[in-house]
């Protein structure tokens, strides 16, 4: 009989993917080929050119000079926020629910975080009128993730275009899209990049990485794409505070970029059965509302029916997370993403673990 750990984690942000063979091969060849080259601070020219070419194939006018390779997406986000924000003055408007990491990054960059909750009842539609009402003269950055972590929602072309119609009327405003999950998408259409839209006022910035959609977990590579002047500032920040990403990791990233479509398609194919299992398990739970997310390897069900009504909302959410943990399953409390009572649950784990975790989850929830 298979034995499982006392606690099965469905809380990790990283999947159980192995390094794509082409990436491993390219990194190994470099390692075995003599002294390692040192990368320029902004990244190896070949990787920046390959990334730019990939966006160009999608119809985006991106030049290599706009790209800075960073040790993961987080440092890219911090560099961008540092470059854009006037500390103590500027605000970042974050559409929520959203990834719990953004808050700390905005704080470290000296910005003030403001949140705009989107409505689960509309499947988190971009509410342009609400965004407009939330903007102030101090709002310097509008921050979103697409596909969204934690909801899995994918924002398609028409919905983004309506939002960008608004942001173009606010020249001081930058739009920052975290697109790190862009290859994990189960819908018929691929996830559009913010970079594919007209940007007459140079307002668009994208941050991405290789650890989610391209399976380079533990290789610590990410990047940003920004107007060239902002990219230069970000490179200067990286020069002053860190180092260039190892050429070994960049070699792996270059191979992954060249095979991006097939790597992501392989990951999605491998995730599909788990996704169906997860969605079926949630659908079988009475009182649980869950929209079928098109992107990421998360679901974000509404467990508000199971909260202890005697507790205030965030405490009730933490209490349910603790009850689930006591029942042997670790999930992410949506309170950390500005959505108490919702829970981020990953299905990018081995199938037997997922099966057992779902059994435990069902047993731990007071289903009626
Ligand atoms: C939306 C989002 N952005 C950025 C990151 C950080 O990515 P990286 O591993 O490249 O630092 C994560 C990781 O969980 C994430 O979910």
Res 2: pLDDT:
78
All domains of the chain in start order, with CATH: 8-18+262-364 (3.90.1150.10), 21-259 (3.40.640.10)
Could you tell me the distance, in angstroms and rounded to a whole number, from the CA of residue 182 to the centre of ligand 1? 12
The torsion defined by the Cα of 329, 335, 338 and 340, in degrees rounded to 10, comes to 100
In the chain, what percentage of residues exceed pLDDT 70? 99
pLDDT over 80 (residue 291):
no
Could you tell me the distance, in angstroms and rounded to a whole number, from the CA of residue 23 to the centre of ligand 1? 20
Could you tell me the distance, in angstroms and rounded to a whole number, from the CA of residue 172 to the centre of ligand 1? 26
CB of 60 within 8 A of CB of 297? no
> What average pLDDT does range 12-28 have in this prediction?
97
Quick one: which atom of ligand 1 is closest to the CA of 98?
1
Question: Residue 290 — pLDDT band, cuts 50, 70, 90?
Answer: confident
pTM: 0.97
Q: Which two tokens stand for residue 340?
A: 């108490």
Could you tell me the distance, in angstroms and rounded to a whole number, from the CA of residue 180 to the centre of ligand 1? 7
CB of 99 shorter than 6 A to ligand 1: yes
pLDDT tens digits, one per residue of 327-340: 999 999 999 999 99
As a residue count, the chain comes to 368
In a 10 Å sphere around its CB, with 0-12 CB exposed, 13-18 middle and 19+ buried, how is residue 204 labelled? Answer: buried
Per DSSP, helices labelled H in 93-204 are 101-108, 128-134, 157-167
pLDDT over 60 (residue 368):
no
Place of tokens 């440092």: 75
CB of 362 within 8 A of CB of 285? yes
CB of 214 within 8 A of CB of 77? no
Question: Residue 286 — pLDDT band, cuts 50, 70, 90?
Answer: confident
Res 1: pLDDT:
67
Mean pLDDT of the chain: 97
CB of 226 within 8 A of CB of 66? yes
Determine which residue's CA is closest to atom 14 belonging to ligand 1: 13
CA distances from 186 to 2, 120, 161, 358 (A): 31, 20, 21, 21
For residue 28, the Cα-to-chain-centroid distance in whole angstroms is 28
CB of 66 shorter than 6 A to ligand 1: no
The torsion defined by the Cα of 363, 364, 366 and 368, in degrees rounded to 10, comes to -20
Question: Residue 70 — pLDDT band, cuts 50, 70, 90?
Answer: very high
Tell me the C-alpha distance between 45 and 145, whole Å: 27
CB of 178 shorter than 6 A to ligand 1: yes
């Amino acid at each position: 009989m298979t034995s499982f750990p006392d606690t099965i984690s469905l809380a990790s942000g990283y999947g159980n993917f192995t390094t794509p063979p082409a990436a491993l091969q390219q990194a190994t060849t470099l390692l075995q080929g003599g002294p390692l080259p040192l990368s320029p601070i902004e990244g190896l020219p070949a990787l920046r050119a390959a990334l730019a070419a990939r966006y160009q194939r999608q119809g985006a006018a991106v030049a290599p000079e706009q790209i800075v390779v960073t040790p993961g997406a987080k440092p890219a986000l911090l560099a961008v926020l540092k470059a854009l924000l006037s500390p103590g003055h500027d605000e970042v408007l974050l559409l929520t629910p959203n990834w719990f990491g953004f808050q700390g990054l905005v704080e470290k960059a000296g910005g003030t975080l403001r949140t705009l909750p989107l409505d689960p009842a509309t499947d988190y539609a971009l509410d342009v009128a609400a965004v407009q009402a939330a903007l102030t003269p101090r709002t310097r950055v509008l921050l979103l993730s697409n596909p969204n972590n934690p909801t899995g929602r994918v924002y398609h072309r028409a919905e983004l275009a309506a939002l960008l119609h608004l942001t173009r009327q606010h020249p001081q405003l930058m739009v920052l899209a975290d697109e790190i999950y862009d290859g994990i998408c189960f819908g018929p259409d691929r996830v559009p990049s913010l970079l594919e839209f007209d940007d007459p006022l140079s307002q668009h910035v994208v941050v991405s990485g290789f650890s989610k959609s391209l399976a380079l977990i533990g290789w610590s590579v990410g990047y940003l794409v920004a107007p060239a002047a902002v990219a230069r500032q970000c490179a200067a920040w990286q020069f002053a505070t860190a180092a260039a990403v190892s050429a070994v990791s960049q070699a792996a990233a270059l191979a992954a970029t060249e095979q991006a479509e097939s790597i992501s398609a392989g990951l999605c194919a491998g995730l599909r059965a788990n996704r169906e299992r997860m969605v079926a398990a949630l659908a079988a739970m009475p009182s649980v509302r869950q929209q079928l997310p098109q992107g990421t390897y998360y679901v974000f069900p509404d467990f508000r029916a199971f909260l202890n009504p005697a507790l205030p909302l965030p405490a009730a959410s933490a209490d349910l997370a603790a009850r689930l943990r006591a029942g042997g399953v670790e999930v992410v409390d949506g309170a950390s993403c500005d959505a108490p009572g919702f829970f981020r649950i990953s299905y990018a784990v081995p199938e037997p673990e997922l099966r057992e975790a779902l059994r435990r989850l069902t047993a731990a929830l007071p289903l009626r």
